[in-house]
Amino acid sequence: MRALSGNHAGWLTTVAKEIREAGKPVSLDFLYRVVPSQFATSTNDGHVTAAENGLDRNDFAAGQRIWVEEAVAALKAAGLAEGTDPFTWAVPQDGSWQVKFGRSKYTIYGRAEALAARDRHMLGDGTAPGYLLKGWSEAEVDVDPGIEGLRKGRHRLEVHPLAFTIPPMTPAEQEAMRADIEAYGVRSPLILYPDAADKTVRGRTKLKVLDGRHRLQFASALNKPVRVELFEGSEEEAKAFVLSLNLYRRHLTSAQQGLIIVSYFGEQAKQEAKEAQIRKPKEGDSVSSKLTEQNGGKSEAGSWEKRALKMAGNAAGVSATNVRAMDVVAQAPLTTAKVMSGEIRTVKQASEEAAKELGKAPPQNLWQDTVRGELGRAHGHLCKVLEELELPPGERKPGEIRELVEEISGTWQKIRIALQERKLL
């Protein structure tokens, strides 16, 4: 074996991939042309290897040819490639193999294993997010343009910061989407939106993927074309759009929902609540609201948590108490990451973990307040139903309705008694 100095894994795995994926015999000339362009160290490796084998150091291409030839020899010795220029893949497409190359052994992945490894690298493995989902967000795709001025062809698209606020899909969801895209292609367009904080070298605002970051990655991994559409609207409308597609349609925990609401609407809701509390009472305000605001109390209109919930469309399953608790959690980055990854699933656990991280005492009355608030809201709905069921004087309620009302009322009392026994009320 000739002297080699450089990226052994890069040369071996790239040569193996080109022979395996070709589907036909591959020549050395082809490998000489395509392999060096696929990783950053190839030119320097060529210079050094040429010199170590007595060739002109400036002739880096000669060194690169040595790398390709030695990688092919190693694959043939391992029984993965066969033939004498051209070469063919000698084993099944799927699998994994150990190949000795230089002083070390390297793992060569087959088709299925290579795709799975790429997915883990980009999307994560269920225990930690991958590069695409935690910030490193570029992937090349063939774009069938749906936007004026965007030419058809390969583009390097990035994910919009607003999209990162939504937790990634679960591994099961990712697997289902990957299988669907592999079978049918990307059927829904990627939605692009300008990122005002990021501009091109020519000063143009970059368009980034507002919805479809998982489709973006799988399109890139499977070499599938995508269509793109432009979202035209304000930032607030863009937030509402992302929420409408994700917050209510995916199986997010109440802790994740609370964090998303705080992230999107917390600051705006607090500012509006502050302005509402210091404003002068207006004609038409109720006496109670005037007294509440004049004394610095929190009226319903002045509660920032309720304002944030309203901005989010009153997300089902999320209470104002939960939003307030997750506002504290948002100050603890490690706990926030665990919530968004799904490692922490409940508001209670998130609040306790955040308190430890921030060095604060854990909340004392949060759970009683949450239970009391949720039951109070349920009881309020029940009372409203009872009022709506009242018929005009002189008419009796149908027997079935009466029995249903009595059953609901009895259940309500049983719940209250059970919670009181557990000291939750």
How many structural domains does the chain have? 4
Evaluate the CA torsion angle 412, 417, 422, 425 in order and state its sign: positive
* 1 is a domain residue: no
| pLDDT, tens only, 258-268 | 888 888 888 88
Say if CB 305 and CB 324 are below 8 A apart: yes
Residue 377 has a CB neighbour count (10 Å cut-off) of 12
Q: What is the overall mean pLDDT for the chain?
A: 78
260 to each of 7, 170, 323, 326, how far by Cα in Å? Answer: 43, 17, 9, 9
Domain end (from 109, 125, 146): 109
Least confident span in 3-7, 115-119, 149-153, 161-165: 115-119
Orientation angle between helical segments 333-341 and 254-278, nearest 10 degrees: 130
pLDDT for the residue numbered 55: 93
- Confirm if 219 and 189 have CB atoms less than 8 A apart: no
pLDDT-based confidence at residue 137 (cuts at 50, 70, 90): low
DSSP H or E stretch at residue 321 = helix 320-329
| Alpha-carbon gap, residue 26 to 11, rounded angstroms | 16
Residue 374: pLDDT band (50, 70, 90) is: low
pLDDT beyond 80 at 61: yes
Residue 321 has a pLDDT of 78
Domain shared by 126 and 241, yes or no: yes
State residue 367's pLDDT score: 55
| Residue 72: Cβ within 10 Å count | 22
Rounded to the nearest 10°, the torsion over CA 190, 191, 196, 201 is 40
Helix (H, G, I), strand (E, B) or coil at 335: helix
Average pLDDT rounded to a whole number, residues 363-379 = 59
Same structural domain for residues 194 and 311?
Answer: no
By residue range, what is the domain housing residue 416? Answer: 369-421
- For residues 400 and 356, the answer to whether their CB atoms sit within 8 Å is no
Does residue 250 register a pLDDT over 90?
no
- Asked if 126 and 210 sit in the same domain, the reply is yes
Would you place residue 290 in the very low, low, confident or very high pLDDT band (cuts 50, 70, 90)? very low
Residue 314 has pLDDT above 70, yes or no: no
Q: Report the range of poorest mean pLDDT among 69-73, 212-216, 317-321.
A: 317-321
Q: What percent of the chain has pLDDT over 90?
A: 16
Which one is predicted more confidently, 418 or 425?
418
Last residue of a domain, one of 189, 217, 246: 246
Task: Assess whether 297 and 335 both reside in one domain.
Answer: yes
For residues 275 and 298, what is the distance between their CA atoms, to the nearest angstrom? 12
Predicted local confidence at residue 69, as pLDDT: 94
Domain endpoint, select from 79, 109, 139: 109
Query: Do 104 and 37 have their domain in common?
Result: yes
Please answer whether residues 222 and 182 qualify as being in contact, where contact means their C-beta atoms are separated by less than 8 angstroms.
yes
**Domain shared by 375 and 341, yes or no:** no
Q: What is the mean pLDDT of residues 364-384?
A: 60
